[in-house]
Chains A and B, each alone.
Chain A
Amino acid sequence: MDESAILAELSRILGEVLDDATLSLGMTTERADVPGWDSFAYINFIVGVETAFGVKFKVAEVESFPDVGAIVRALIARGAAAKGA
């Protein structure tokens, strides 16, 4: 899975959490850029990503992802993206 495929998958997961099928995330998207993406939705999203990609983030990591790109890079670094969803 390459960067854009991961982004598409992340968009789908967040779209499900926020009930917005048109949602599209970019590498530089931050939480503040997406309406309704509060801490509650964020945790749901993270657990959704963990389930889909078969990974587990550290709590400290979850807290300090500055943007979507950081999540994508963390997934690639874990090689988890190879498994795909």
Chain B
Amino acid sequence: MLFNSYAFIFGFLPLALAAFWLAGRFGRDAALLALILASIAFYAFWRPFNVVLMAPSMALNYLIARQLQRDAEARPGRARVLLLAGIGFNVAFLGYFKYLAFGETVVNDVFGAGLILTHVILPLGISFITFQKIAFLIDVQAGRIERFTLRDYVLFVLFFPQLIAGPIVHYREMMPQFHAAPCRFRAEDAAVGISLFSCGLFKKVALADPIATYVSPIYAATAAGHPPGLFGAWFAALGFTLQVYFDFSGYTDMALGLARLFGMQLPPNFNSPLRASNIVDFWLRWHMTLTRFLTAYIYNPLSLTLTRKRVARGKRVLGGRNPSWSAFVPLLMFPTVLTMFISGLWHGAGYTFILWGLLHGVYLVVNHAWRLLRPRLFPDAKRYARWARGAGFALTFPAVVISMVMFRASSVAAALAIWHGMTGAGGATIPAVVLHGLGTLGRSLRALGIGGSASSGAIFVHGWLWLAAGLAIALGAPNTLQILADHGPALGVKPAPGRRVIWRPSAGWAVALAAVAGVGILSLGQLSTFIYWQF
């Protein structure tokens, strides 16, 4: 059941809320039980077997966590082994479902083994659920979770608003909310929740999906051996960047809104990432809870261990006025690239996702190297800061757009073909009718070597208009969390200084949001899954 479906919006959601509020009259325990049952029903709706698969894994994780809690203080050595076994189990569980066929492909490609690929149906949301389970075990072992019950654990893993594609939450930020939830109708929760959900629905069905109708044919044609020229290639790259942004941030707004209807706040996942002025900044604004997870559980421990070892050997570390470049590779490049490699692989079992992750790893390394070099090249930090924002954006945005081609393309060869098109080496054409319609400008373009093609002028013009509108919104409009910042749309969101569009419980806003919701609901119909639900 997709969030963007009639069955969910007019069937499941009202029933789940009614059950939650009704049970709330009998106390919080009853309400939370209703929420668990609703979440199980939500997950089972796709494929009841998903629940059968997930239940033993949850039970085992719960038992490991219980034992970890007993051993953490008294027998730390045993707790460490148990933790590693628990992480190993979860990684193997994910590995079987998600990576078996890809592993066989790699073996075939490298050794020519000729293995027949094992196709396993991926339980929905398994990548997100696995990360949360691993984080839970680590947190228990580290003593960050003092008490938990089976009910709390099940609620933490299965809470349906963020079950399939995040935000990836920490137990410690969710459980106090569940334990204090009033479990009854509250006007502010309803208003903020519906506003978030409506904005998210609009982003998904009125922005991401229409742009996709122009973008998908280009990737399909490329996969079939017909790569685009200069304009088509840039359209494919820019268009998919906008599509995935509106799709995933739309999904996230809907998840945040749904949680809020039940009185809970989720952590933020997006903060206008396409406006980022460098790649580090981009990752602090894009899929923020994944960045948080990877930083906390992979990058930090790795980097901390490596840096300490180096200090213990009396060698210099990075940072400061005279950075030691011999420390750059082991202390920065290695942990950064490894973390982004894992991030790429986590997204999808395929060479394209790995290369996308590695590309971002390289971007981050360049960003960090620049930070170390900059004080020497531009000692005047104030003067540097004046033009760094604009120049940084002018570099970061295309870098992100270029990387998205690898994320979307069906194969590495297809991605390379689109990159080739983006250089202009594959020629540049626009529909002949458009060239003709442009008059003098059209003739100048022809003089520049741009040819006329027989393809549809209407699709070309409409496509670029959608793209322009999407870019204007992504780069210029205030984001939903900032608009709602006074009403706690997500955990830890503070109103930014100088914001002008501010949500109020007023008649004007009601009309505006009703229009947004109306457009969203009227655009429902075609079954259109979220990009991140496949992970």
Contacts and interface: CB of A to CB of B under 8 A. Distances in A.
A19 B321 contact: yes
Contact of A46 (B304, B336, B375): B304
Given A43-B307, A44-B307, A63 B317 contact: no
Interface residues of B, number: 28
Given A38-B280, A43-B304, A43-B307, A63 B296 contact: yes
Interface in A31-59: 36, 38-44, 46-48, 50-51, 56, 58-59
Contacts of A62: 300, 304
B143 A50 contact: no
B303 A60 contact: no
Contacts, number: 59
Given A38-B284, A51-B311, 5 more contacts: A19-B375, A39-B300, A44-B318, A60-B144, A62-B300
B311 A39 contact: no
Nearest to B385: A35
A59 B297 CA distance: 9
A58 to B, nearest CB: 7
Given A47-B304, A58-B142, A63-B300, A40 B368 contact: yes
A44 B299 CA distance: 13
Interface string A10-40: 0000001111100000000000000010111
Interface residues of A, number: 25
Interface in B233-291: 280, 284
A64 B280 contact: no
B378 to A, nearest CB: 12
Contacts of A42: 300
Interface of B: 138-139, 142-144, 280, 284, 295-296, 299-301, 303-304, 307-308, 311, 317-321, 332, 336, 368, 371, 375, 381
Interface majority SS on A: helix, strand, loop or mixed?
Answer: helix
Instruction: List 4 A-B pairs, minimum CB-CB distance, nearest first.
Output: A60-B142, A17-B319, A44-B319, A47-B307
7 contacts: A39-B303, A42-B300, A44-B317, A46-B304, A47-B308, A60-B139, A60-B144
A46 B368 CA distance: 18
A15 B152 CA distance: 43
Contacts of B296: 63
B406 to A, nearest CB: 24
A50 B308 contact: yes
B307 A60 contact: no
A46 B304 CA distance: 8
Contacts of A56: 308
Contacts of A36: 371
A16 B375 CA distance: 13
B303 A40 contact: yes
Nearest to B372: A19
Nearest to A56: B308
A32 to B, nearest CB: 9
A19 B379 CA distance: 11
Given A19-B320, A44-B319, A60 B308 contact: no
Contact of B295 (A39, A47, A59): A39
A59 B142 contact: yes
Contacts of B299: 39
B300 A41 contact: no
A72 to B, nearest CB: 19
Given A39-B299, A44-B307, A47-B311, A16 B143 contact: no
A76 to B, nearest CB: 20
A43 B303 contact: yes
Contact of B304 (A18, A38, A59): A59
